[in-house]
Amino acid sequence: MKKIGQFIKKIFIKQQNYQTDDKEESDVYLPSTTEIKNFCNKNFQINWLSIYFFDILSMLSNYIENVSTYYLIQIKHTITQNNIDEQWNSMFYFFAAKLFEIMCRTIYRYVVQNNYIDKGLRRHIKQKTVQQALSLDIHFFEENKSTELVKTIDQGVLFLISYIQVYSEQIRYNLNLFKSGDLYFQNRMSLLLKKNSQLQTFQEFQISDLISNIVTIKQFGTEQKEIQNMAKIQEKNTHITTSRTNLHQSQQIYSHSKDMMLYLFTILQLYIITKSSKNSNLEILFAFSQIQVFYGYIQELYSFIKRNFEKNDNVIFTENIMQIGKLMKLFEQKSQISQQTTKLDYQFNFNSSISFKNVNFSYPKANDKLAKMNQQFYEQNVSTISQTINLHNSGQENSAKILNITNNETKNFLESQQDSNNRIQNTLENISFEIQKGQYVSFVGKSGSGKSTIAKLLLRLYDPNSGSVLFDNENVENIPIKQIKQSIGYVSQDLTLLDSDILQNITYGCDEYNQEDLLQVCNYSGVSEFVFDQKRFPEGLKTLVGANGSKLSGGQKQRIAIARALLKKPSILILDEATSSLDAESEYTVQKYINQLVQSKNQSMTIIVIAHRLSTVVNSDKIFVMEKGQLVEEGTHEELIQKQNVYQKLVFHQISNPFEQ
């Protein structure tokens, strides 16, 4: 049932996205040259003087190439005229110009391309970008598709570097007569491209959704409906593609007319040059036998002008600017959590207790949307709302009537406020508890009751909406995040392993350890049991685990994750459903090692287990029972059984349904 619900929700959400598609046009962000420059100044400290110098160097190389072409034509001309002196002269100038051009180009390639751009700028920008992305809260990564993020970083950086390289060209381009025409086509095309790609992504997702949910579709008999849905999207997509083709054709016509004007301009320039020179080469160049040479020269001059006063289409293609825009938006994101001031000199050395005091929490997305919507509305209608609330509080039921509220929006708002009070519930509701140092405690409760969320708040992946999380009576917000993470060993529900060997996976994130420590954690976590089996694991700790541990069993992965958490000698160990994905036998093995760990743990380690399987928790010093985001019971196994309430029901339920999660 849960799956069917999720599927219907997915489809529903997508339909909504699809319907609001048209409104998303304003999302296309094409930053201007100045905006890009300001962004670079703020984040990457670019040396623009060098960029201008490099640009002049590149222009100079192109110009000298033209000069050498001119002398090449002169050589051909003097040969036909049998004018030896002029011939030598032209050859001298030709070689001199060529040599100078080669020199400029070599300097450009080695100094600019290899050193400044590839070794300097590219590395610097990439590093800063990755640093920015990693500084963001986990919430940001949950809200954004990872593939989209990778594309934004990879392509955004690539195009930004190209853009910086041609930055001076952009400035010259601003003097261009054709700028507004170019911009018109650029903007139109970018809108169509965006719509097109949105619909395409939507369609791809829909197909993969259909295939993976084929059983549900067959059960509901909704094949025809799905096909109709897809046809609608296809129709819209075709419409946009046609508009794109039409626009492309108009753009071609525009571009040809522009080219013609540039040619005319080139010829005019050539005419002026040759008119002012002593021997009027124009006549000779116009001569029928020279027509090809003449055309070649015009081509050369034309491309020179085009290169220097036209838009660099390879780099400045609308899609590329869009990617730079996305990269700029990424830099506007700020981590909510690390923004807060911590006591920088605070030295966290866990030595007394962990506590939650009246913690309320809901995941940011839903929270943000509601808060933003309500805030906006509240600001616009503050006086009416406060009067209504006052009247309501003073017992005057029909407050809306008294105030003569005819505005439907206000009514809806007030109703939605009441609704949301009833409907929207925090993920964690007014949670308070205390765990003493050295205790072994467990959190139990039905799926979705908020157990893992507690671990996430302890790790400071999120901050509570209200109330406080305290370590040693110090608010977590005052403790430097790095110190918290160093003190907590966390084995999460969704295990992720690096695509490397077992050793690297165990030692990840731990800078200081010795062989003795390594062996000890392998023994405690149960890694030794399989990894030192010469027949099955001849390469021992150097065995590669495959992409996300694909070459290992669930139990082996769990044990590696536990070893990893233990190696840094954490003062607090959190095992979040460490045995949930295992079969009975593997679960037994991992459980055996957890028990061993608990028994052998020195008094300095505090262990928090988040579990479904109640067999894990019977020996805990304290069990916390969660229900719908609330902490409903706490005590030892015996105490809770005696209470004959929620915990006891959970135990009986699990005994009678041993396979249910």
Residue 16 Cβ vs ligand ATP, minimum distance, rounded to whole Å: 18
List Cβ neighbours of 276 (8 Å cut-off, separation of 6 or more).
Answer: none
Q: Pairing state of beta strands 622-627 and 440-445?
A: parallel
Given the complex with ligand ATP, which of 485 and 613 has the nearer CB atom?
A: 613
526, with CB counted inside 10 A (0-12, 13-18, 19+), is buried
Given the complex with ligand ATP, which of 156 and 445 has the nearer CB atom?
A: 445
Which SS3 state, helix, strand or coil, does residue 618 take?
coil
Residue 459 Cβ vs ligand ATP, minimum distance, rounded to whole Å: 13
Residues 124-163, interacting with ligand ATP (CB under 6 A): 142
Residue 358 Cβ vs ligand ATP, minimum distance, rounded to whole Å: 18
One of 449, 579, 586, 591 touching ligand ATP (CB under 6 A): 449
Cβ-contact 355, 467 below 8 angstroms: no
Q: Give yes or no for residue 460 binding ligand ATP (CB under 6 A).
A: no
Residues 322-341, interacting with ligand ATP (CB under 6 A): none
Q: Could you give the CA distance from residue 418 to residue 647 in angstroms, rounded to a whole number?
A: 33
Which SS3 state, helix, strand or coil, does residue 562 take?
helix
Q: Give yes or no for residue 445 binding ligand ATP (CB under 6 A).
A: yes
Q: Phi/psi of residue 441, each to 5°?
A: -120, 160
One of 61, 90, 318, 427 touching ligand ATP (CB under 6 A): 427
Q: Could you give the CA distance from residue 606 to residue 572 in angstroms, rounded to a whole number?
A: 5
One of 452, 465, 523, 543 touching ligand ATP (CB under 6 A): 452
One of 120, 448, 509, 546 touching ligand ATP (CB under 6 A): 448
Given the complex with ligand ATP, which of 198 and 581 has the nearer CB atom?
A: 581
Q: What is the CA radius of gyration of the chain?
A: 35
Q: Phi/psi of residue 619, each to 5°?
A: -90, 5
Q: Phi/psi of residue 268, each to 5°?
A: -60, -40
Given the complex with ligand ATP, which of 169 and 576 has the nearer CB atom?
A: 576
Q: Could you give the CA distance from residue 87 to residue 82 in angstroms, rounded to a whole number?
A: 8
Task: Supply the angle between the helices 179-212 and 2-19 in degrees, to the nearest 10.
Answer: 160
What x/- string results for residues 85 through 124 when contact with ligand ATP is judged by CB under 6 A? ----------------------------------------
Q: How far is CA 58 from CA 106, 167, 172, in A?
A: 10, 12, 14
Given the complex with ligand ATP, which of 341 and 447 has the nearer CB atom?
A: 447
Residue 462 Cβ vs ligand ATP, minimum distance, rounded to whole Å: 8
User: What letter represents residue 151's amino acid?
Assistant: K
Residue 648 Cβ vs ligand ATP, minimum distance, rounded to whole Å: 19
Pick the stretch among 60-68, 190-198, 444-452, 542-550 that binds ligand ATP (CB under 6 A): 444-452
Q: Could you give the CA distance from residue 206 to residue 209 in angstroms, rounded to a whole number?
A: 5
Residue 505 Cβ vs ligand ATP, minimum distance, rounded to whole Å: 23
Q: Give yes or no for residue 451 binding ligand ATP (CB under 6 A).
A: yes
Given the complex with ligand ATP, which of 1 and 211 has the nearer CB atom?
A: 1
Residue 493 Cβ vs ligand ATP, minimum distance, rounded to whole Å: 6
Cβ-contact 127, 119 below 8 angstroms: no
Residues 245-284, interacting with ligand ATP (CB under 6 A): none
Given the complex with ligand ATP, which of 168 and 449 has the nearer CB atom?
A: 449
Q: Could you give the CA distance from residue 181 to residue 173 in angstroms, rounded to a whole number?
A: 13
Q: Could you give the CA distance from residue 172 to residue 305 in angstroms, rounded to a whole number?
A: 11
Residue 439 Cβ vs ligand ATP, minimum distance, rounded to whole Å: 20
Q: Could you give the CA distance from residue 338 to residue 347 in angstroms, rounded to a whole number?
A: 17
Pick the stretch among 179-187, 284-292, 337-345, 446-454 that binds ligand ATP (CB under 6 A): 446-454
Given the complex with ligand ATP, which of 453 and 487 has the nearer CB atom?
A: 453
Residue 426 Cβ vs ligand ATP, minimum distance, rounded to whole Å: 10
Pick the stretch among 2-10, 73-81, 265-273, 443-451 that binds ligand ATP (CB under 6 A): 443-451
Q: Could you give the CA distance from residue 178 to residue 71 in angstroms, rounded to a whole number?
A: 32
Q: Which two tokens stand for residue 258?
A: 């522009």
Residue 429 Cβ vs ligand ATP, minimum distance, rounded to whole Å: 11
What x/- string results for residues 587 through 616 when contact with ligand ATP is judged by CB under 6 A? -------------------------x----
Q: Could you give the CA distance from residue 389 to residue 421 in angstroms, rounded to a whole number?
A: 15
Given the complex with ligand ATP, which of 213 and 427 has the nearer CB atom?
A: 427
Given the complex with ligand ATP, which of 36 and 455 has the nearer CB atom?
A: 455
Place of tokens 């700029």: 328
Q: Could you give the CA distance from residue 313 to residue 320 in angstroms, rounded to a whole number?
A: 10
457, with CB counted inside 10 A (0-12, 13-18, 19+), is buried
Given the complex with ligand ATP, which of 440 and 443 has the nearer CB atom?
A: 443
Pick the stretch among 1-9, 57-65, 197-205, 449-457 that binds ligand ATP (CB under 6 A): 449-457
Q: Give yes or no for residue 426 binding ligand ATP (CB under 6 A).
A: no
Which SS3 state, helix, strand or coil, does residue 105 take?
helix
Q: Could you give the CA distance from residue 531 to residue 551 in angstroms, rounded to a whole number?
A: 13
Residues 354-373, interacting with ligand ATP (CB under 6 A): 363
Given the complex with ligand ATP, which of 311 and 612 has the nearer CB atom?
A: 612
Size of the chain in residues: 661
Q: Give yes or no for residue 579 binding ligand ATP (CB under 6 A).
A: no
For ligand ATP, how many residues bind (rule: CB under 6 A)?
A: 13
Residues 461-520, interacting with ligand ATP (CB under 6 A): 493
Quick one: which of 567, 604, 609, 606 has its CA closest to 590?
A: 609
Q: Give yes or no for residue 453 binding ligand ATP (CB under 6 A).
A: yes
Given the complex with ligand ATP, which of 333 and 580 has the nearer CB atom?
A: 580
Pick the stretch among 29-37, 129-137, 288-296, 440-448 that binds ligand ATP (CB under 6 A): 440-448
Distance of CA 457 to the CA centre of its chain: 22
Q: What is the dihedral of CA 572, 575, 576, 580, to 10 degrees?
A: 180
User: What letter represents residue 58's amino acid?
Assistant: S
Q: Give yes or no for residue 447 binding ligand ATP (CB under 6 A).
A: yes
The DSSP secondary structure of 576-625, one letter per residue, reads ESTTTT--HHHHHHHHHHHHHHHHH--TT-EEEEE-SSGGGTTT-SEEEE
Q: Which two tokens stand for residue 487?
A: 């003190």
Q: How far is CA 117 from CA 110, 156, 162, 169, in A?
A: 10, 16, 9, 17
Given the complex with ligand ATP, which of 350 and 361 has the nearer CB atom?
A: 361
Residue 628 Cβ vs ligand ATP, minimum distance, rounded to whole Å: 9
Q: Could you give the CA distance from residue 263 to residue 148 in angstroms, rounded to a whole number?
A: 42
Pick the stretch among 283-291, 352-360, 379-387, 445-453 that binds ligand ATP (CB under 6 A): 445-453
Residue 409 Cβ vs ligand ATP, minimum distance, rounded to whole Å: 28
Cβ-contact 345, 474 below 8 angstroms: no
Given the complex with ligand ATP, which of 377 and 462 has the nearer CB atom?
A: 462
Q: Which residues bind ligand ATP (CB under 6 A)?
A: 142, 363, 427, 445, 447-453, 493, 612
